[in-house]
Amino acid sequence: MMNRLKVLRAERNWSQADLAERLDVSRQSVNAIETGKYDPSLPLAFKIADVFGLTIEEIFVRGEEGA
């Protein structure tokens, strides 16, 4: 699953550690989500959306072309 997490984080000048602290996860988890190596659980996806004030759909996209 592709996502805009890295871009959204960079727009706020947050490090991966900053975001991890806000989400109560490890920095490694943030890195794995950003690089597409790990898809977050639904509760974590909602938490990510809440942190950025967006919907899940505005952050995460199914497949490589959004299909």
User: pLDDT tens, 14-48?
Assistant: 999 999 999 999 999 999 999 999 999 999 999 99
Paired strand residues for 3:
60
Name all domains of the chain by residue range, CATH numbers in brackets: 2-61 (1.10.260.40)
pLDDT at 51: 98
pLDDT at 62: 81
Between 64 and 62, the higher pLDDT residue: 62
User: Token pair of 10, please?
Assistant: 């960079």
Which one-letter amino acid corresponds to residue 54? L
User: Token pair of 38, please?
Assistant: 């790990």
pTM: 0.88
d(CA 65, CA 50): 24
Tell whether the model's pLDDT for residue 65 goes beyond 80: no
- Nearest CA-CA partner of 56 in 2, 11, 14, 19: 2
